[in-house]
Structure 1
Amino acid sequence: MNETTAVTCPLCGDEVHKLIYRFHLESERLVIDKIKEQFPEWTKNDGICSRCLDYYHTELLMQQRMLPEIGPFFPVKSPDDFIILPSALRIDTDVRFTGKGVTICFIDSGFYLHDDLIKTSNRIKKIIDITHPDRTEDFFNTPHPSAWHGTMTSVVCAGDGYCSNGLYKGIAPDAELVLIKVQDDNNQITTDSICKALQWVVENHLIHNIKIVNLSVGADENISYHESGIDQLAEQLIKVGINIVAAAGNDTQVMIKPPANAPNVISIGGVDDANDLTAVPFSYHSSFGTTVDGLYKPELVANAIWIAAPILPRTYEAEEAATLHYALQLSDKELMQFWPDVQKNILFPENGNEKMSVTYCRQLLAKRLMQTKFFSKHYMHVDGTSFAAPLVSGVIAQLLQAKPELDPLNIRRLLFSTAKRLPDVPVVKQGYGYIRPRRALLKILNREVVMKKHASPFINRPKRMIEFHIQNSCAHQISLAGSFNYWAQDVLLMEPCANGSWKIEIPIPPQGTYTYKFLIDDKMWVEDVENPVREPDGFNGWNSVLNV
């Protein structure tokens, strides 16, 4: 994948990879009006970066008294002036499960041996540059520009919070890691590099006991998963028991691409919780919709903004963050004495003829803190499905710690069946819903997980039968209904089996495409979460699709 050419946001002036041009006129009219108050010449065709869009959303919430301003620097609801809520707290994980004994492989732009991964205990089993396999571990002791993204994703998932005294732990802080760099020296991430990285995992997963692969990078091409080398390797890994998690992307106008488009890869979209534990998550501008093959993606959504991630050490940004937070703690007299040194390390705009008073200096510091997102000297808050995916990878590590024999089929069933459908997010944007780690773990702890050899529906051609099954330990009756029986209810009654399993076999219908659902206790319709092929049912839910 070629690195996207940087563009300049017309509002904040920052260089970003892309601008947002598509607005939901009804829900975002107030945002557009607010922008035009401050920038009268701006139009929707000029675009806006995601950071500015989030800023104006938050400003409106504050004006409407829906979101109070806590602290003088970040207009977000936080328990302290400089605190972004820890990700594990926001997605409500069970801290007893830390991914211990589970190995996660990150395929990303590059990496740095960050203290949150190695200082307390070095949990990196292997780190390689797939574009230069001869490079040693010493290469990753230097903070190369390519290291930013991969260092952030791996720490978001599996950091132990060393630089924050444990506050910003990842979801799986005891997991072990294999890190594969795929960005070359020309700053490109190519399909060939990603394929080489996945092939390396195929050949070495048993040596390192890899159980999860996280991909917050992907290909550029819109092609069928049948024709994609990335997708074929991902599906091959899934067949041998490795869970593949991929970011869906951050553009609502583009189609989801490899590897997130593959049928059994868990594609992760994003939501925004406004950094507020009491808020109901709402839409984030993540990619969604049908793939070239007609599959609906993503399957799940997780938090994709206000995510605490490390600032790459020994960089200009790290020096600026340290200077900002040091300057903010100074008295007025000390600040003015120290100001010439502050200006050397912080990128302030030209002040023209503005008098450098203490008040003005503190205003500059506050504004720069907002622009950089450096909420501490070691961490900044980031956004994108690149960081939602590692949250889900961390949750899978927790599930595997609780029940190591879980395979990808049963991991999918656990996550999809326990996800929460969000009321104000279109079903095509959220898939099965918002991830709920505790609910999934509770199913394991209550021994409600039954290992299955094959997914539903299973077509048994020698017997000319199709087997459907579902897991529900609370139901009194479950029936199967679909277009193959004209959606007749209480006709195809399923047989209860051990441990809350239900199944039914029906003759293979004539060749064609059919939709179906399960009806639980004559009142609740649910889709077949084991079937990756689905379509919207017209009621903000899904019909499962059977192709014969």
Structure 2
Amino acid sequence: MRHWAFVGLLALAACAPESSPRTSAQGQVCPGVVAGGMTVRQGLDGNQPSRVQEDGREPVIIRFRRGDRTQASSVTASGASFTASTGAKVGAVYRNIPAVAARVTPEERLLLERSPMVESIEADQVWGALGLTPGLLAPLQRQVKAVTPMPEDEYTEGLRLVQAPDVWDADRDGVLDVGAPTGEGVRVCVIDSGLDMGHPEFQGAVAANHDFVDEDEDANDRGAQGQWGQGHGTHVAGIIAARVGHGGDTGPRGTPGGMVGVAPNASLLIARVLDLSGQTQMSVVLSAMEWCESQGARVVSLSLGGGNPTRSSVEAFRALKDHGLLVVAAAGNQGGPVLYPASDPSVLAVGAVDANERRASFSNVGMELALVAPGVDVLSTFPRGLGAYAEMSLDDTSPMSRSLLYSPTGDTAGRLVDCGLGDSLASCFEASCDGFVAYVRPGAVPVSEAMANVMMQGARAVVFGSDEAPAGGAVDILSLPRIGRWAPAVSVNQAASTMLRERLGADARLSLVPVDYTHVSGTSMAAPYVSGVAALLWSARPELTPQQVRDALEASAKDLGTGGRDPVFGHGLVRAKDALQRLP
């Protein structure tokens, strides 16, 4: 699973008194240009990576011994007192497992290891968001929406693919059917980066929230200084429960009503556990899980993970299942084995497919995989104004384009110049410090480095094509770091790339408008589709057990691979209407 966008690399600045560009063996550097910027990787304390503690203490999870009939909570209470008596800093005391989270010095750890009360001391692993990349344009352009809004315009491709409208809008009039399962009465807990609480799509949707990073009751996706986080949790939550007709700003061609979630009347519980860099610790997630249970959640949606199973984590997930909760987790985006906690036996692991029901190339595989759901080019909510609607024109044509995640907005124009791979300060053919629009083939260097290179040569906007990456090069995430000075940037599909290469030297114009939505790809997007469908099932039948819900989801899934369950698609594509029909 690749991290979303924090690939912060270089701070490049050229401030020369002369008006002409400086040249060297490395190429041209325009005077007065500032490009890129240093990104400080922030952790749970807002400054340091999550496992680095300023006081030198190590974060751990301490397990205590208990008898067969001893309640975990009573063992933990006495264990917490003992742990604190050693000088260790106790951060969390768990109810479902006989353990506490603490920060310890080497001396304190030695005292704890020698105690007969202590069963084991586990590493408090770093986990992270499982986002991948902004949605890339499909090989074929999408059909432009009709000028007159239709009742179903809020229904995204992914929503239709999982049959959600078939459950609550059978007549397709854009109005929720009376008496249909809509998620009403079901609480879904989203453990993620928090939420843009002011987004119109979530008005009346949030039943409770808690920030486990800043330890307060404001789980907005923001840091202590007010800066926005990654938007990961806002995107995930919209897939589950965006409200009908509550649209935010969708741009000049967007649908006024915005979008609809799979379970549009479900209640959201928002647990912020990811810091501004998209990291957290296992202990924080375990605390959030117990909070979800205390708030009456039926479904827990986890689009995060990392590390390995421990006795404490396995017991914690089993306890939620035993207590009536279904945990749904993203399988991961490396194309390799299903990652933890999706691979946990008590967790339902979800992989990703595209709109044509083909496996996403990044989606992890393995026999632990239970289901797949839409995870490619998924449209959903985003912190207000941080998404961008892009329009590009070149002479008399308007090739379809998509803004890079976190791209600056505004209008830019200039001559389209071939900048090759963007891998050096000499990459732009016919560069000019008067300004131009750079055409770059991604893959040789990280996007942030390519951006800085071409901006230093005079580019005022950048277009990334979709040519094949060079031999040995991996196409980087088409996203800009959240910190730094960047030019507006877009990506285009392969057909548009071919056309642009034939018109190098023509005048290009880019317009990027801030909106409240964005397209993103990843198994992080697939998991909340399954969470939403599970909420629909519980909305129809509140008495169901987690196992009954899971059985119905798996038995009704559309088989996409070899007959029966397979490691690529699991049981298949989740289908809401079919799942309801398979309920006992």
Q: What TM bracket, shorter-length normalisation?
A: 0.5 to 0.7
Aligned residues of 2:210 and 2:272 also touching (Cα < 8 A) = yes
* Contact 2:156/2:260, CA 8 A, preserved across alignment: no
Choose the corresponding residue for 1:391, options 512, 529, 534.
529
User: Given the alignment of the two structures, is residue 249 of structure 1 paired with residue 328 of structure 2, yes or no?
Assistant: no
Call closer, same or farther: CA 1:309–1:357 in 2, change over 3 Å: same
The one of 395, 411, 429 equivalent to 1:342 is 411
Asked if 1:370 corresponds to 2:491, the answer is: yes
Name the counterpart of 1:265: 347
Aligned to 2:159: 88
Partners of 2:516 and 2:276 in 1: how far apart? 27
Aligned equivalents of 2:353 and 2:328: distance in 1? Answer: 17
Structure 2 runs not aligned, ≥5 long:
10-35, 40-130, 169-180, 249-254, 398-408, 420-427, 440-458, 466-488, 494-510
Structure 1, unaligned runs of 5 or more: 17-48, 60-67, 74-78, 274-278, 290-295, 333-339, 450-548
The residue aligned with 1:302 is 373
Paired position in structure 1 for 2:263: 172
Give 2:288's aligned residue: 197
Instruction: Specify which of 179, 191, 194 is matched with residue 110 of structure 1.
Output: 194
Question: 1:106, 1:214 within 8 Å by CA — same for their partners in 2?
Answer: yes
Tell me if the contact between 1:198 and 1:230 (Cα under 8 Å) persists in the aligned partners. Answer: no
1:424-461 Cα shifts (integer Å, max 9, x gaps) = 799211111111211112234xxxx1xxxxxxxxxxxx
- Which of the residues 413, 431, 436 maps onto 1:352? 431
Identity of aligned residues (%): 26
Give CA-to-partner distance per residue, 1:50-93, whole Å, 9 cap, x none: 769966xx54xxxxxxxx444699xxxxx9xx999442112222
Q: CA RMSD in A?
A: 4.7
The aligned counterpart of 1:63 is none
Contact 2:360 2:376 in 1 (8 A): no
Q: CA offset at residue 310 of structure 1? A: 2.2
Contact 2:154 2:259 in 1 (8 A): no
Greater length-normalized contact order (CA 8 Å, ≥ 6 residues apart): 2
Q: d(CA) in 2 for partners of 1:364 and 1:222? A: 40
Higher strand content, 1 or 2? 2
- One of 130, 145, 152 as aligned partner of 2:235: 152
CA contact (8 A) 1:420 1:433 kept: yes
SS in 1 for 2:318: helix
Could you list the per-position Cα deviations for residues 261-305 of structure 1 after superposition, in whole angstroms to 9, with x for gaps in the alignment? Answer: 2212111011122xxxxx34344421122xxxxxx2111111111
| Alpha-carbon distance between aligned partners in 2 of 1:191 and 1:52, rounded to the nearest angstrom | 26
Aligned ranges 1:42-53 → 2 under 5 Å: none
Q: Which amino acid aligns with 2:265?
A: D
The reply on whether 1:211 has 2:263 as its aligned counterpart is: no
SS at match of 1:189: strand
Following superposition, the deviation at residue 418 of structure 1 comes to 0.7
Q: Give the superposition deviation at 1:162.
A: 1.9
- SS of the aligned residue for 1:151 comes to helix
- Per-residue CA deviation, residues 145-202 of structure 1 (Å, 9 max, x unaligned), is 3351111101111112522433521101111111000124675311111111112234
Residues 135 and 434 of structure 1, relative CA distance in 2, 3 Å threshold = closer
Give how far 1:5 is off: 8.9
Q: What is the letter of the counterpart of residue 370 of structure 1?
A: S
**Residues 141-540 of structure 1: matches in 2 within 5 Å?**
144-146=227-229, 148-160=231-243, 162-163=247-248, 164-184=255-275, 188-202=279-293, 204-205=294-295, 209-218=296-305, 220-223=306-309, 227-258=310-341, 260-273=342-355, 279-289=356-366, 296-314=367-385, 317-318=386-387, 321=388, 324=390, 342-343=411-412, 352-353=431-432, 368-370=489-491, 377-423=515-561, 427-444=566-583, 449=584
SS of 1:177's partner is strand
**For residue 76 of structure 1, what is the aligned residue in structure 2?**
none
* Equivalent residues of 2:230, 2:277 under 8 A apart: no
| Counterpart AA for 2:365 | F
Q: Which has the higher helix share?
A: 1
Q: Name the CA distance, whole Å, in 2 between partners of 1:228 and 1:286.
A: 27
Q: TM-score, normalised by structure 2?
A: 0.51
Aligned residues: 354
Rounded Cα–Cα distance in structure 2 between residues aligned with 1:85 and 1:105: 22
Encode CA deviations 1:370-392: one digit per residue, 9 max, x unaligned.
Answer: 36998983322111010100000
Q: 2 CA distance for matches of 1:50 and 1:137?
A: 23
Q: What is the distance in 2 between the residues matched to 1:420 and 1:172?
A: 20
Cα distance in 1 for partners of 2:2, 2:581 equals 43
Distance 1:50 1:134 in 2: 29
Paired letter, 2:189 = C
1:291-349: CA deviations, max 9, x gaps? xxxxx2111111111210223214xx44xx26x46x87xx99xxxxxxx96249xxx99
Aligned counterparts of 1:363 and 1:84: Cα–Cα separation in 2: 33
After TM superposition, the score normalised by the length of structure 1 is: 0.55
Q: What amino acid maps onto 2:363 in structure 1? A: S
Compared CA separation, residues 271 and 100, structure 1 to 2 (3 A): same
Q: Distance in 1 between matches of 2:361 and 2:154?
A: 21
Question: How far apart in 1 are the matches of 2:161 and 2:226?
Answer: 30
